[in-house]
């Protein structure tokens, strides 16, 4: 349970807030590369951390992320013409380059130098692993480029999607580090989803509905271990890494691709749930990619032309009470991604954590909350940079494995939790 003041601290990410300052210490995913596919293509609106921005790719292929609004009269530059290495406002012709610098004001004489005095807010932007990333913090504190394993493997070994989620980033993230709900909410999909079914470890998920949680600190955040009973004096461990501030990886099943998420705030009441699948040592098969595009695994189908899930709050997530009764979909909602978002959104835009009654399986959530609050306070009061900004801290994996009952996962899974090029995942 958090106080009202603590709940505000962890959920508010706008400019000048403590959590907003924390998020601005990291490279954050903002667009899929497919959204800016070629030079001089249409610009794309980007809202992140409550800031309204515009991304575009200029004639030379250079990426830019600038304030959405023209500083002349405030018109949205989304209507702009992307031409000749700049974005020109159609209202009065003011033109801006990828750095936000005004390069032409047709109504003013060039010799006046007026255009040079006008510059929009802009942020660094890079492209890696099929994702476009931005850093919104102080230039002197910029970390090295992202080093999460999914964006470092060859292109054919990875698939990434995103979906709009109508709730605060933190309640979405907390679903991502809660491994106990899998045995309930996702029980039908564990047995039937083409990216999960048949894995040997599934039987432990479905047989032991009361996992024991053990959580340890990592260099970048936490390792959250969920322990279930297995045969031959063993435990089945599913270990989820959480990295500051909003990255999670999901323990693998068999030789299926590994997957995970980012939960990136749009504003205080909405976020983008980024979902990635990758395999560290082989290309994804056509069938696997087909399933992902069809909304299986951790992905979803969309309202055409958008990144909003086709099953959403406006249509009650296409709930099927008959499927719920028969047990083919435990909650009556189809698909892992929408099952998660349906319940997380049902809490309201920002859940009131003063009313919670937390239990043992919530230890990972409790520790993550306290870790981000401590980090935000240290950044504000002492200028201390948070963790998980270094490449080696981001090189982690989720893992699933069987260990003897007298071996703790911090020892038995130590090597399996490291991302190592050319080394297969540890899985059951």
What is the distance between the alpha carbons of residues 91 and 72, in angstroms, rounded to a whole number? 9
pLDDT at 19: 98
Query: What tokens were used for 180?
Result: 């106990």
Specify the 3-state DSSP secondary structure of 249: strand
User: Which contiguous run of DSSP H or E holds residue 70?
Assistant: none
**Contact criterion met (CB below 8 Å) for 251 and 241:** no
pLDDT at 328: 81
- Could you tell me if residue 330 is left (phi over 0), alpha (psi between -120 and 50 degrees) or otherwise beta? alpha
Which string of b and e fits 33-70 if b means at least 16 CB within 10 Å? bebbeeebeebbebebbbbebbbbbbeeeebbbbbbbb
- Could you tell me if residue 338 is left (phi over 0), alpha (psi between -120 and 50 degrees) or otherwise beta? alpha
What is the distance between the alpha carbons of residues 195 and 291, in angstroms, rounded to a whole number? 7
- DSSP state for residue 317 in the 8-state scheme: G
Which string of b and e fits 115-144 if b means at least 16 CB within 10 Å? beebbbebbbbebbbbbbbbbbbeeeeebe
HSE-CB at 308 with a 13 A cutoff on CA atoms is: 14
Positive/negative CA dihedral, 79, 80, 82, 85: negative
Q: Give CB contacts under 8 A, 24+ apart, made by 306-312.
A: 306/164, 307/162, 307/163, 307/164, 307/272, 308/163, 308/164, 309/163, 309/164, 309/337, 309/338, 309/341, 311/335, 311/338, 311/342, 312/166
Q: Which alpha helices (DSSP H) does 12-131 contain, by range?
A: 18-23
What is the distance between the alpha carbons of residues 251 and 241, in angstroms, rounded to a whole number? 9
Cα three-residue angle 104-125-48, rounded to 5 degrees = 95
What is the distance between the alpha carbons of residues 117 and 114, in angstroms, rounded to a whole number? 5
Contacts of 9 (CB under 8 A, 6+ apart): 17, 18, 19, 373, 376
Radius of gyration of the chain measured on its C-alpha atoms: 23
What is the distance between the alpha carbons of residues 401 and 234, in angstroms, rounded to a whole number? 10
DSSP secondary structure of 140-187: GGPPPPP--GGGTS-GGGEEEEEEEESS-HHHHHHHHT-GGGGGTTTH
DSSP secondary structure of 386-397: PSS-SHHHH-B-
Burial class for 269, CB neighbours closer than 10 Å (0-12, 13-18, 19+): middle
Specify the 3-state DSSP secondary structure of 310: coil
Integer CA distances (angstroms), 280 to 246, 372, 418, 419, in order: 22, 29, 12, 9
The residues pairing with 158 across neighbouring beta strands, listed in sequence order, are 278
pLDDT at 179: 75
Burial class for 5, CB neighbours closer than 10 Å (0-12, 13-18, 19+): exposed
pLDDT at 423: 97
Mean pLDDT in order along the chain per 10 residues (428 residues): 96 98 98 98 98 98 98 98 97 98 96 96 98 98 98 98 98 89 86 93 91 94 96 96 97 96 98 98 98 97 98 97 89 95 97 94 94 98 98 98 97 97 97
């Amino acid at each position: 349970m958090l106080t009202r003041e603590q709940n505000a601290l962890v959920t508010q990410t706008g400019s000048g807030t403590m959590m907003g300052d924390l998020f601005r210490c990291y490279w954050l995913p903002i667009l899929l590369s497919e959204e800016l596919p070629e030079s001089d293509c249409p610009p794309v609106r980007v809202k992140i951390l409550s800031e309204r921005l515009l991304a575009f790719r200029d004639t030379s292929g250079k990426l830019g992320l600038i304030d959405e609004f023209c500083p002349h009269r405030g018109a949205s530059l989304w209507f702009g013409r992307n031409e000749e290495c700049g974005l020109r406002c159609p209202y009065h012709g003011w033109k801006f380059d990828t750095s936000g610098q005004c390069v032409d004001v047709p109504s003013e004489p060039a010799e006046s130098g007026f255009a040079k005095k006008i510059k929009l807010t802009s942020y660094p932007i890079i492209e890696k692993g099929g994702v476009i990333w931005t850093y919104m913090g102080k230039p002197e504190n910029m970390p090295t480029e992202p080093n999460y394993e999914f964006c470092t493997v060859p292109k054919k070994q990875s698939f990434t999607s995103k979906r709009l989620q109508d709730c605060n980033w933190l309640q979405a993230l907390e679903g991502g580090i809660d491994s106990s709900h899998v045995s309930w909410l996702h029980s039908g999909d564990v047995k039937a989803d083409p990216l999960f079914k048949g894995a040997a470890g599934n039987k432990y998920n479905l047989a032991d509905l009361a996992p024991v949680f053990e959580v340890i600190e990592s260099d970048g955040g936490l390792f959250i271990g969920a322990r279930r009973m297995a045969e031959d004096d063993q435990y089945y461990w599913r270990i989820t890494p959480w990295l500051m501030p909003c990255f999670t990886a999901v323990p693998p099943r068999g030789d299926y691709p590994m997957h995970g998420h980012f939960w990136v705030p749009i504003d205080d009441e909405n976020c983008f749930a980024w979902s990635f699948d990758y395999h560290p040592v082989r290309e994804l098969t056509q069938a696997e990619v087909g399933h992902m595009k069809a909304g299986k695994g951790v992905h979803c189908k969309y309202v055409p032309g958008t990144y909003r899930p086709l099953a959403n709050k406006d249509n009650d997530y296409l709930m099927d009470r008959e499927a719920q009764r028969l047990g083919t979909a435990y909650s009556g909602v189809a698909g892992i991604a929408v099952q998660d978002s349906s319940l997380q959104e049902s809490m309201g835009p920002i859940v009131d954590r003063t009313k919670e009654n937390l239990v043992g399986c919530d230890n990972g959530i409790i520790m993550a909350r306290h870790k981000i609050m401590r980090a935000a306070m240290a950044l504000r009061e002492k200028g201390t940079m948070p963790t998980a900004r270094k490449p080696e801290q981001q090189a982690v994996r989720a893992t699933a494995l069987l260990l003897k009952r007298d071996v703790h996962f911090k020892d038995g899974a130590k090597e399996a939790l490291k991302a190592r090029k050319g080394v297969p995942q540890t899985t059951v």
